[in-house]
Amino acid sequence: MQTAVIVFPASNCDRDAATALEKLTGKAPRMVWHNDPIIPDDVRFVVVPGGFSYGDYLRSGAIAANSPVIQDLKRKAEAGLPVLGICNGFQILTEARMLPGALMRNTNQKFVCRISRLRLANAKTRFTKRYDAKNEIDIPVAHHDGNFFADDDTLRRIEGNGQVVFRYVDNPNGSRNDIAGIVNEAGNVLGMMPHPERAVDKLHGGTDGIPLFKSILESL
Amino acid sequence: MIARVYVGLKPGVLDPQGRTIANSLNDLGFNEVVDAKQGKVIELRFAESDAGRDAVEARVKEMCEKLLANTVIESYRIELDEE
């Protein structure tokens, strides 16, 4: 199964994502540079990784959202290609309007770096069906701008549609409704602040990220 | 021509940095401060052209919508100045 990781200047979780994908698919992902106008046609799943693309200049993810590769990603995602945006990748997907809302500065002003416990708000998505909805999972967070905001109407809409996928048990950043991750309406684009690619090996301290990758890869 | 774009959070969007600034001012004894909002100013300089103010403003508005502001959380105001 061919997967891909998008690489921006100052991405720093691209190799973590690649390692996780290779471990779970047995095949190295294509590393697609931000200036490439096209994501190769054999790619069936794309990860937009964490980091500080373009130094977080202007707003986290704002410049990356306008890069050539994201224009192609948008077209392909609209045609159904599954996409996972992690941390800075989530910020990029909201800035690109591929997901609703925005990620703002954490309310406590601190960079938060720790294991976060998550509840499955929707265990029926293509990204979560391998999880037991009753179980809480431990996935690391590491961000300064993870405070999810959407206006009241948008919040009602995404809650009503079951687009909220993960919630923090102990909200580390002030996110509205404790939201840690959401999918688009079609269900093929997931954005989340926690890092599932950092929870796929016992040496990571936990493996709760594995069912997420397995869920989406099995759905292809 | 210079355009100054003021970008700030929309009313109703909690501004953690503004809140911290107000608290800090209160701690320094400026108790009359009840709220602070933080935004940014982006100054754009244009090459000489015959474009009128309206045309320039329309272009800057497009820049704001496309990149300079995230209209999910931010609003913006444009000021034009002859150099």
Confidence (pLDDT) at B12:
84
Q: How far apart are CA A162 and CA A182, in angstroms?
A: 9
Confidence (pLDDT) at B14:
84
Q: Is A13 a catalytic residue?
A: no
Residues A95, A59: contact at Cβ < 8 Å? yes
Confidence (pLDDT) at B48:
84
Class of domain B2-81: alpha beta
Angle between the A14-25 and A210-218 helix axes, to the nearest 10 degrees?
Answer: 60
Structure tokens at A174: 């002030």
Angle, CA A165 vertex, CA A59 and CA A83 arms, to 5°:
60
Q: How far apart are CA A17 and CA A25, in angstroms?
A: 12
Confidence (pLDDT) at B16:
84
Q: Where are the domains of chain A?
A: 3-218
Q: Where are the domains of chain B?
A: 2-81
Q: What mean pLDDT do residues A194-209 have?
A: 97
Say yes or no to pLDDT of B4 above 90: yes
Which residue of chain A is at minimal alpha-carbon distance from B70? A95
Structure confidence by residue, pLDDT tens digits, A91-104? 999 999 999 999 99
Q: How far apart are CA A14 and CA B72, in angstroms?
A: 27
Confidence (pLDDT) at A83:
98
Q: How would you classify the pairing of strands A189-192 and A147-149?
A: unpaired
Confidence (pLDDT) at A190:
98
- The rounded mean pLDDT for chain B is 93
Q: Tell me the CATH architecture of domain A3-218.
A: 3-Layer(aba) Sandwich (3.40)
Q: What mean pLDDT do residues B64-80 have?
A: 97
Say yes or no to pLDDT of A46 above 90: yes
| Amino acid identity for residue A130 in this structure | R
Which residue of chain A is at minimal alpha-carbon distance from B74? A102
Q: How far apart are CA B45 and CA B81, in angstroms?
A: 10
Structure confidence by residue, pLDDT tens digits, A55-87? 999 999 999 999 999 999 999 999 999 999 999
Confidence (pLDDT) at A32:
98
Q: Is A113 a catalytic residue?
A: no
What ipTM does this complex have?
0.85
Chain A residues touching B14 at Cβ < 8 A: 104, 107, 149, 174
Q: What mean pLDDT do residues A185-206 have?
A: 97
CA distances to A128, A150, A166 from A158, in Å = 17, 9, 12
Say yes or no to pLDDT of A198 above 90: yes
Q: How would you classify the pairing of strands A45-48 and A83-86?
A: parallel
Say yes or no to pLDDT of B15 above 90: no
| Amino acid identity for residue A186 in this structure | A
What sign for the dihedral angle of Cα A152, A179, B39, A54?
negative
Structure confidence by residue, pLDDT tens digits, A119-136? 999 999 999 999 999 999
Which residue of chain A is at minimal alpha-carbon distance from B12? A151
Contact B72 A174 (CB under 8 A): no
| Nearest CB to A66; choose among B13, B67, B73 | B67
Quickly count: other Cβ atoms within 10 Å of residue A27's Cβ.
11
Contact A94 B72 (CB under 8 A): yes
Among the listed residues B73, B36, B12, B50, the one whose alpha carbon sits nearest the alpha carbon of residue A104:
B73
Say yes or no to pLDDT of B41 above 90: yes
Structure confidence by residue, pLDDT tens digits, B19-37? 889 999 999 999 999 999 9
